[in-house]
Amino acid sequence: MAYEVTATRKRPQQFETLAGQEFVASTLTNAITQGHIAHAYLFSGPRGVGKTTTARLLAKAINCEKGPSAHPCQTCSNCIEITRGCSPDVIEIDGASNTSVNDVRNIKDEISFPPQHSKYKIYIIDEVHMLSNSAFNALLKTIEEPPEYVIFIFATTETQKVPATIRSRCQQFNFQLLDIETIKKLLQQTCDEINVKAEDQALFWIAKEATGSMRDAYTLFDQVVSFSNGEITLDKIRSKLGLIGIESLNEIMIHMIHGEKDKAIASTLQLLSRGVSVEQCIKDFADYFRVLLLIRKGIASESILGEQVSAFPAEIRAVYTEEQLETALGMFLQLFRDIRYSLNPRFELELAISRLNTLRYLASSTIVMEQLARLKNDLVQGKLTPCNSQLKNLPDLDPESLPLQQSQLVVRIKETINPVENKVRHEPVVDETPPVSSQQPSAEPSRTPARKEQIVSPSAIELPKLIAYAENHDPSLLTIIKQIRDVKNQNNAAILVFATAFAGQNAENNIDSIQKIIKDAVGFDGTVLIKVEKENSHGSSTDDKPNEDPTANLICSMFGGIEE
C-alpha cells in the first residue's frame, strides 16, 4: 500500500474525534439530531485546525444512507465516497483558483439539477475569501434562497475579507488554535500506533513549533520520524535541524549577568559556526525573552509559555525587570526586520548581543523620574538620610559603565550626597601679612605678595558694575552674575552669596572667570569665595536658623529648589 502522510491518515472521521473544536462539534451534532440543518455555513479560523475536515464530516452526516445522523455509519456507499473525496454530490471547490464570476455562474447552472443518489448536493468552497466581488455578488441570491436540496459550506482563514452580505446569510463557526497539550497527546498516540519511541521534551517541541495547527504538527512529526530511526529525541532534532537549545541561551545570558561580554559573544559565534542561521538565532532570542517576560508577569502555564519554567535558571528569572525584558524583546523583533537591509546580518547580531551587557542597567525616563520621586518622598518622610547605607553604596557605581540615562542619575545622586553647600569653600581667609614690628624700620619695603597689597576693598564690588561688564565682555557668565544676591566682606575676601545650590555650583565651576570679571570691572584682585544662603519667607537667611534641617537641605540640593 502506498505511503500516506500522517495528516491524511489521522483525519477525523467522526465529530467525537475532532480535537480542539468541542463547541463546533457539539453544535453541529445537536443541529443534525434535531433536524435543524441550515442552507449555508461559514467555517473560519487559522490553518490546519479542521475547517475542511469538519465540512466533510457535516456532508457525511447529512448524506449518510442511514441519516441524516450525527454518527454516520462509515460503511455505506455515500460515506465511503465522501471519505475518499469522489462523491458526485459533494463538490469541493478551491476558491483561490476559481475566483471569477463565470465560475460562480457554473455553480448556479449546476444547482438546478438535483443530487444523483444522495439527499443533498453539497458545495464546499475552500478559501472563499479569494473570490472576486463580482463572484460574491453573483452568489448572493443563490445563497439566500437555494433549492431545498443544496447546502453551501464555506471555509476561510480571513473572515474579514468575506463581505458582510455573505456572512449574514450563513451560520458562522469560529475554529480555534489547538493548545500544546492537546497536540502533544495526539502525537503520542501516533507514536504508539507506529511503534516509535519519543521523548516527552521532543514531542513538546514539535507541538510548540506547530503554533496551534494540527496539520503543521503532523507534517513536522513526519519529518522528524524520517531521521530519528525509531526513537525521537530532542538532541537529534537540534542537531539535524540546526536549532539552538535553551541551555545555550541560558549560558549566554549567564555570561551577560556576570559581565563576561567576551564569553557571551564567543558562545554566540560558536552557535553560528555549528550551522545555526542568524535568522534562527534572532528568532530564538526573541522567543527566549518573550518567555522570560511572561514568567516575570506571573504566567506559569506551559501551553502559553511554550517552555517549562524550570528550564530557566532562577538567577536569570530574577535579575531583569519587566521593562528591561520588553526592551530586549522589542530589540530582537526590530532586528529581525532590519537584517534584510543589513550590510552583514552577523554584524547586527553581534551588536545586539553586545548591547545585552547593559540590559540590567536600562531604565526609561519614566522609571528614572519615578525613582527620583520615590527618593524625594523617602527624604521628606525621614526614611532616608545622607548617611543611609543605600546612598553610601551609590558612589561605588561607575557612571562610565552605564547607559546615558543611568549615568546621569548616578552622577546626580552623588552630587546629592555631597551637595554644593559641602563643596564650596567656606573656610575663613586668614591674613598672612606678618605684623609690623616696632623695631623694624618703617621704610623697609614689604615682602608680601602683590595680591595682598590690594587697594580695592571687597566692599567696592557693586553688582550693577559686574552685570554691565559681563554684558559687554563675557555674556556667557551674565546669567551667573545676575544670580548673585549679595557681596560680603570677610577678612578682605569677597563672599559672593547665591540663593540656590544650583546657582552656587555653577559659580564654583566658573570661579576663575568670575574672578577675572571682578578684577577687570572694579579692580578687586583678592580672594573670591562662593556661599549659598537660602532666604525664608521673612527675608532672613537660613544660616540664622538655630535648628536647620539637613534633610530639607538635601532635598533642595537634589531637586534645585528653594526651601520654603
180-241 with 246-357: one CATH topology? no
DSSP 288-312: HHHHHHHHHTT---HHHHSS-GGGS
For 163, phi then psi, to 5°, come to -55, 145
pLDDT digits (tens, 9 = 90+) for 94-109: 888 887 888 888 888 8
Which percentage of the chain shows pLDDT scores above 70? 81
Rounded-to-10 torsion of CA 323, 324, 329, 334: 90
pLDDT of 9 > 80? The answer is: yes
> How far apart (Å, rounded) are the C-alpha atoms in residues 488 and 460?
10
More confident residue, 2 or 12: 12
Domain 455-559 class in CATH: alpha beta
pLDDT of 115 > 90? The answer is: no
Q: Reduced to 3 DSSP states, what percent helix, strand and coil does the chain have, rounded to the nearest 5?
A: 55, 10, 35
**CATH architecture designation of domain 180-241:** Orthogonal Bundle (1.10)
Compute the mean pLDDT over every residue in the chain, rounded to the nearest whole number: 80
The CB density around residue 248, as the number of other CB atoms within 10 Å, is: 19
> How far apart (Å, rounded) are the C-alpha atoms in residues 488 and 513?
19
Q: Are 166 and 143 in contact (CB under 8 A)?
A: yes
Average pLDDT (228-247) is 82
Average pLDDT (480-508) is 84
Which percentage of the chain shows pLDDT scores above 90? 20
Q: How far is it between the farthest Cα atoms of the chain?
A: 145
**pTM listed for this prediction:** 0.60
pLDDT digits (tens, 9 = 90+) for 541-557: 555 444 455 555 555 55
Beta bridge partners of 122: 90, 151
The whole-number pLDDT of residue 443 equals: 44
CATH T-level assignment (fold) for domain 246-357: Zinc Finger, Delta Prime; domain 3 (1.20.272)
* Sign for the pseudo-dihedral over CA of 67, 72, 77, 80: positive
> How far apart (Å, rounded) are the C-alpha atoms in residues 408 and 402?
9
pLDDT digits (tens, 9 = 90+) for 298-311: 888 877 887 778 88
pLDDT of 370 > 50? The answer is: yes
pLDDT of 440 > 80? The answer is: no
pLDDT digits (tens, 9 = 90+) for 153-198: 999 999 999 999 999 999 999 999 998 889 999 999 999 998 989 9
Average pLDDT (199-221) is 89
* pLDDT interval class at 407 (50, 70, 90): low
Domain ranges of the chain: 6-174, 180-241, 246-357, 365-418, 455-559
The C-alpha cell at 171 is 451560520
> How far apart (Å, rounded) are the C-alpha atoms in residues 496 and 94?
89
Q: Are strands 197-198 and 493-498 parallel, antiparallel or unpaired?
A: unpaired
Which one-letter DSSP state was computed for residue 401?
G
pLDDT of 246 > 90? The answer is: no
The whole-number pLDDT of residue 28 equals: 93
Placement of cell 524550570 in the chain: 310
> How far apart (Å, rounded) are the C-alpha atoms in residues 384 and 391?
9
Rg (CA), the chain: 41
Q: How many CA atoms are closer than 13 Å to the CA of 436, on its beta-carbon side?
A: 9
* pLDDT interval class at 459 (50, 70, 90): confident
The whole-number pLDDT of residue 536 equals: 54
The whole-number pLDDT of residue 426 equals: 43
The whole-number pLDDT of residue 260 equals: 86
The CB density around residue 287, as the number of other CB atoms within 10 Å, is: 19
**CATH architecture designation of domain 6-174:** 3-Layer(aba) Sandwich (3.40)
Q: Are 520 and 469 in contact (CB under 8 A)?
A: yes
In angstroms, how far is CA 63 from the centroid of its own chain?
Answer: 52
For 439, phi then psi, to 5°, come to -90, -10
pLDDT of 454 > 90? The answer is: no
The whole-number pLDDT of residue 553 equals: 57
pLDDT of 422 > 50? The answer is: no
